[in-house]
Amino acid sequence: MRTIFFFILFVISTSVLAQSNYEWVDEIEVDKIEPNTKKTFWLKMIDNGMSQPICIPVIVLKGKQQSPILGLTAAIHGNELNGIQVIHQLIDEIDLSTLNGTLIAIPGLNGISIPQHRRRYVDEEDLNRNFPGKKNGNRSQQYVWQINNKILSKIEYLVDMHTASFGRENSLYVRAKLDDDTTAQMAKIQDADIVLNSNGLPSTADLIPATRTMRAEAMLNGIPCITVEYGNPQVFQPEIVERGITGIKNIMSWLKMIDLDVEKTSKPVFCKKSYWIYTDEGGYLDVTVGLKQHLKKGDLIAILRNPFGAIIKKYYCPEDGIVIGKSSNPINMNGGRIIHLGIIGE
């Protein structure tokens, strides 16, 4: 037992020592980074209950000049991991000697929830519905306030990386304000299956400002931003990651940060709006349609059964559209998600 104890102690000590090789900072100071330099460091966000700092990883690539500054944020929800892998592999493929501008990449924005395999923050709040946050607010509000002031204030363009949540699957799709020329162009070159027109602002934004998403907050502060949904939760999906890298390189090329032509991608389906269809009874749900499937009004989309196998209800598509996302969890009570239906438009 003593041998096992000392072995575990050795492993923990080695891990702490390895992490200490990276600098810990309170602020991203792009001005102080030399041109043609890569910097990796831990950015302090908050303190935990043991007076220890909670930090997030930051990778900064600064080229010949500082501007434009492109930000990449992954995993504001702790179970949305594909974006982390997109950042890791993208960084390895960038030639720093020819880079123009600055890339600020955060491969893991939710420093509390990622190691705990959780989606929401420690107080069960959705961080992406709490912007702009509050300096002296509750736990989630203070963390969001730190994101707003320590990260969003440093960038000029933003790609906010997400995936589906537990029990759901997503296509590779983009949310963007399509009547804005800049964000529309950022969205169109993402190698996405679907591009969804969405301004990101809830209808109550003016009345309840603490319910904004990070994308909405960025846009309100003059930072062009798109949200990219990279597939499924709590996994690395190589095909999705590869397409994600293509999309980010296309933005960098379009911004003239790298000397590459914008890569031709498959033409996405454009949706003018979308909504989820929910169950109105509980049972075992069999979703009978697939991601990216085009549907007609009246098509069967799901069958709900009771524990004895008897059919309780069949669900049909209420109008023509395309499947953006779907439930992958058969166990559903009233209000369970069935499919995320996109309504196709120009």
Q: Mind listing the pLDDT tens digit for each residue in 165-200?
A: 999 999 999 999 999 999 999 999 999 999 999 987
Q: What is the mean pLDDT of residues 7-20?
A: 40
The per-residue pLDDT for range 122-158, each reduced to its tens digit, is 999 999 999 999 999 999 999 999 999 999 999 999 9
Using DSSP's 3-state secondary structure scheme, residue 147 falls into helix
> Is 171 in a helix, a strand, or coil?
coil
Could you tell me the pLDDT band of residue 7, with boundaries at 50, 70 and 90? very low
Task: Report the alpha-carbon distance of residue 240 to residue 86 in Å, rounded.
Answer: 9
> Does the structure show a pLDDT above 50 at 330?
yes
Q: Is the peptide bond before 330 cis (omega within 30 degrees of 0)?
A: no
Q: Is 271 exposed, middle or buried (0-12, 13-18, 19+ CB in 10 A)?
A: buried
User: In sequence order, what are the residues at sequence separation of 6 or more whose Cβ sits closer than 8 angstroms to the Cβ of residue 228?
Assistant: 83, 159, 160, 161, 162, 172, 173, 174, 175, 190, 192, 244, 247
- pLDDT of 1 higher than 70: no
Is the pLDDT confidence value at 29 over 90?
yes
The pTM of the full predicted model, rounded to 2 decimals, is: 0.90
The span from the first CA to the last CA of the chain, in angstroms, equals: 67
Q: Which domains does the chain have, with CATH numbers?
A: 24-267 (3.40.630.10), 275-344 (2.40.50.100)
Is residue 257 within 8 Å of 330, Cβ to Cβ? no
pLDDT value, residue 263: 85
pLDDT of the residue at 206: 54
* Peptide bond before residue 132 is cis, with ω within 30 degrees of 0: yes
SS3 for 148? helix
Q: Is the separation of the CB atoms in 68 and 47 below 8 Å?
A: no
Q: Which residues lie across from 287 on neighbouring strands?
A: 302
Q: Calculate what percentage of the chain has a pLDDT beyond 90.
A: 86
Q: Does residue 17 surpass a pLDDT of 60? A: no
In DSSP terms, which residues pair with 72 in a beta bridge?
A: 105, 159
Q: Are 236 and 138 in contact (CB under 8 A)?
A: no
